[in-house]
């Protein structure tokens, strides 16, 4: 049943423009690299989308090279490694979805304190993130890092750990309100015996509470896997996943009608995340006004999109640190709720961090940065006069902004510069640090 918001978008003449292409690349990946948008406009919407979906191969040296880092035990290094995959852009949609699951199944190294386990969880999201959600939920629940984090290790017959059961229901599977406290207690009993041995999942039968449990009105000698199947069978689950996908790809606080439609699509597509995401990316909803500039960019996406858009050279370690200073430290979400996002990204300190990092990138054009190398004219174009600079930069960095006063203010600023190069650096700095740029 294809009706309403998820109906396929058929752009009329002129609708597949810079703004639309940029929107696609920024939401479905981490932004376009120089030349991507021009190419997309050349080949048309369908071909561009297909190409984006097909771009799914990381450089093996980078992907596999991580094994040399794990023994050293530095989570900062692992974060830098993940950032290097994001910046390289070898598999944009896959990394986007990996970051989404990292936030959804939020697990922090602050407690887990084990780089190998965090990597293993990250690899799980990368491999199965676009696959069948049912398999993903089962695997994520048994992931040793997750069990460590939620004290799922401490789950014994007679002392069931409700923490784990609660988060499986509330955060991962259903969302608030679809379960009762009894459901949680009973599910906790079902999960008894689950634990880890060293770095592997281990089921201890002796610790398992074998009797009958009643969950969501169904009774049986449920084990942990059964409890998860019950969560998946609950009508709220597909909606919860659908809501998550819409929050990530479309807008915060998605409408109920959209959620209904997307949940239906998810089930129709056999719980395959990749196919559902594709359905969303093709939709009128995705390219409609409600999705454009709908949310405040988070730190990792802000850093990655900016670095890629400008063709800048930054060490992945510095990029990951910049995002951490802005409030998003990969592998260290503040709590099991993940990063709340939206306006909570912004306070005095984080805005200062955003400002300083982005101003640094623009200043690198004049060689004034220690961490960044960039030639803005390569990415933004070679302007012939200072007058052209403002329109050029705006058209590239905030293409769907329709605000003549904004451009005029920038033009006036460009006039006061001594050279085209200076104007380019100044205008870029002003645009990057302006609130308009931080709306994704």
Partner 1 sequence: MITTRRQFLIGGVRVAAAVPLVSLAGGARASARTEGDPVLVVLQLSGGNDALNMVVPHRQDDYYRMRPTLSLARENLHALDDDHGLHPDMAGLGELYAEGHLAVVHGVGYPEPNRSHFRSMEIWHTADPDAPPGDTGWMGRLADQIAVRQPGTMAALHVGGGDLPLAMYGREYFSPTVRDARGFRLRKPGGGFDGLRGRLLDRPPATGDLAFLREAAAGTYRAAERMAAVAGRESAVSYPDLELARRLRLIARLVAGDFGTRVFHVALEGFDTHARQKATHAALLGELSQSLTAFQRDLEASGAADRVITLVFSEFGRRVKENASRGTDHGAGAPVLLVGHAVRGGMHGTAPDLQRLENGDVPPTTDFRSVYAALERDWMRLNSATNAASLELIDA
Partner 2 sequence: MNLERILPLGALLLLPVATRGVLHDPPAPIAPERDVATLIPDRAVFYVDAPGMPALLEQGLDHPFLKTLLASPLGQLLQTEMEASPEELLAVGEALLGAPVLPTLASMTRHGAALASGFGPKGVAWVLVLHGDDDLIAEEVLTKIFDQLESQFEAPGAFDEPHASVRGADVWYLGDDVKIARRDALVVASSDEGYLRDVLDLAAEPSAKGLAGRASFDEARETRSDEQLLWGWVDLKRVEAVANWSGSGEKMKELRAMNGQPAVQMLLGPGVAALGTSETATFWIATRGAELELGLAGQGVEPAEVLMPDPSRDAPPAPLPHADDCGSLLVYRDLAGAFAHRVDLFPPEMLPKFSKATTDLALFFGGKDLGEDVLPHVSPWIRVVARHPRFDEGVVPEIPLPAAAALVKVDDPATRGPELTAAFQTLISAINLDRAQKGMSPFVMQLETVDGVFVTRAHYPPPGPEDGVDMIYNFVPAAAMVGDVFVIGTHASVVRDLVGEIASGETRPVEGASEAMWLDGPALARVVEDNFDALVMQNMLDEGHDIEAARQEIGGLLGAVQSLERLDAEILYPDDDSVEVRATLVLHADEDEEAVR
The residues that touch partner 1, with contacts defined as CB under 8 A, are 108, 110-111, 149, 163, 295-296, 324-325, 327, 329, 332, 334-336, 339-340, 342-353, 355-356, 359-360, 362-363, 366, 368, 405-406, 409-410, 412-413, 416-417, 422, 425-426, 429-430, 433-436, 438-439
Which of these, 267, 436, 270, lies nearest to 358 by C-alpha position? 436
Select 93 or 324, whichever has its Cβ closest to partner 1.
Answer: 324
* Rounded Cα gap, residues 357 and 226, in angstroms: 48
Q: Is 313 in the site for partner 2 (CB under 8 A)?
A: yes
Site string for partner 2, 140-179 (x = CB under 8 A): --------x----x--------------------------
Which of these, 332, 290, 330, 313, lies nearest to 375 by C-alpha position? 313
Choose the contact partner of 1 out of partner 2, partner 1, none; CB within 5 to 8 A by kind: none
* Rounded Cα gap, residues 157 and 161, in angstroms: 9
Neighbours of 344 (CB within 10 A): 13
Choose the contact partner of 435 out of partner 2, partner 1, none; CB within 5 to 8 A by kind: partner 1
* Rounded Cα gap, residues 141 and 339, in angstroms: 20
* Rounded Cα gap, residues 208 and 186, in angstroms: 13
Q: Is 343 in the site for partner 2 (CB under 8 A)?
A: no
End-to-end CA distance of the chain: 30
DSSP letters spanning 251-287:
-SS--HHHHHHHHHHHHHTTTBHHHHHHHHHTBHHHH
Select 19 or 80, whichever has its Cβ closest to partner 2.
Answer: 80
| Residue from 45, 81, 179, 258 in contact with partner 2 (CB under 8 A) | 81
Q: Is 75 in the site for partner 2 (CB under 8 A)?
A: no
Select 291 or 410, whichever has its Cβ closest to partner 1.
Answer: 410
Stretch that binds partner 2, among 90-98, 192-200, 214-222, 224-232 (CB under 8 A): 192-200
Choose the contact partner of 368 out of partner 1, partner 2, none; CB within 5 to 8 A by kind: partner 1
Q: Is 65 in the site for partner 2 (CB under 8 A)?
A: yes
Which of these, 142, 54, 123, 62, lies nearest to 91 by C-alpha position? 54
Site string for partner 2, 197-216 (x = CB under 8 A): xxxx----------------
Neighbours of 437 (CB within 10 A): 20
| Encoded tokens for 318 | 């510095």
Which residues within the stretch 110-139 sit at the binding site for partner 2 (CB under 8 A)?
Answer: 113, 116
* Rounded Cα gap, residues 160 and 208, in angstroms: 9
Select 276 or 329, whichever has its Cβ closest to partner 1.
Answer: 329
């Amino acid at each position: 049943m294809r009706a309403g918001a998820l109906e396929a978008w058929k752009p009329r003449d002129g609708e597949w423009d810079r703004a639309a292409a940029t929107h696609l690349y920024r939401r479905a990946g981490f932004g376009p690299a120089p030349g991507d948008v021009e190419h997309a406009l050349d080949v048309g919407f369908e071909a561009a989308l297909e190409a984006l979906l097909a771009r799914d191969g990381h450089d093996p040296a980078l992907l596999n090279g991580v094994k040399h880092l794990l023994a050293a035990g530095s989570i900062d290094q692992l974060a830098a490694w993940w950032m290097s995959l994001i910046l390289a852009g070898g598999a944009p949609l896959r990394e986007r979805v990996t970051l989404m699951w990292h936030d959804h199944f939020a697990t922090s190294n602050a407690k887990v304190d084990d780089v190998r386990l965090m990597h293993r969880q990250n690899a799980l999201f990368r491999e199965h993130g676009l696959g069948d959600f049912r398999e993903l939920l089962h695997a994520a629940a048994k992931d040793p890092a997750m069990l460590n984090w939620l004290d799922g290790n401490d789950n014994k017959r007679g002392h069931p750990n409700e923490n784990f059961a609660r988060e499986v229901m509330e955060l991962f599977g259903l969302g608030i309100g679809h379960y009762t406290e009894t459901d949680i207690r009973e599910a906790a009993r079902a999960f008894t015996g689950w634990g880890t041995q060293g770095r592997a999942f281990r089921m201890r039968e002796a610790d398992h509470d074998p009797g009958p449990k009643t969950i969501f009105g169904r009774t049986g000698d449920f084990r942990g896997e059964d409890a998860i199947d019950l969560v998946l069978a609950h009508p709220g689950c597909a909606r919860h996943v659908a809501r998550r996908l819409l929050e990530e790809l479309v807008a915060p606080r998605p409408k109920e009608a959209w959620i209904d439609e997307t949940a239906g699509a998810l089930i129709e597509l056999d719980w395959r995340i990749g196919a559902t995401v594709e359905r969303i990316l093709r939709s009128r909803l995705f390219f409609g006004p409600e999705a454009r500039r709908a949310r405040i960019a988070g730190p990792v996406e802000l850093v990655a999109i900016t670095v890629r858009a400008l063709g800048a050279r930054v060490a992945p370690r510095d990029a990951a640190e910049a995002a951490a200073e802005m409030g998003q430290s990969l592998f260290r979400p503040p709590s099991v709720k993940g990063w709340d996002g939206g306006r909570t990204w912004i306070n005095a300190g984080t805005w200062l961090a955003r400002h300083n990092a982005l101003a640094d990138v623009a200043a690198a054009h004049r060689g004034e940065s220690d961490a960044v190398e960039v030639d803005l004219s390569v990415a933004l174009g070679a302007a012939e006069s200072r007058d052209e600079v403002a329109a050029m930069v705006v058209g590239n960095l905030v293409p769907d902004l329709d605000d003549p006063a904004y451009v005029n203010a920038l033009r006036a600023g460009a006039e006061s510069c001594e050279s085209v190069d200076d104007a380019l650096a100044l205008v870029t700095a002003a645009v990057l640090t302006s609130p308009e740029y931080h709306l994704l």
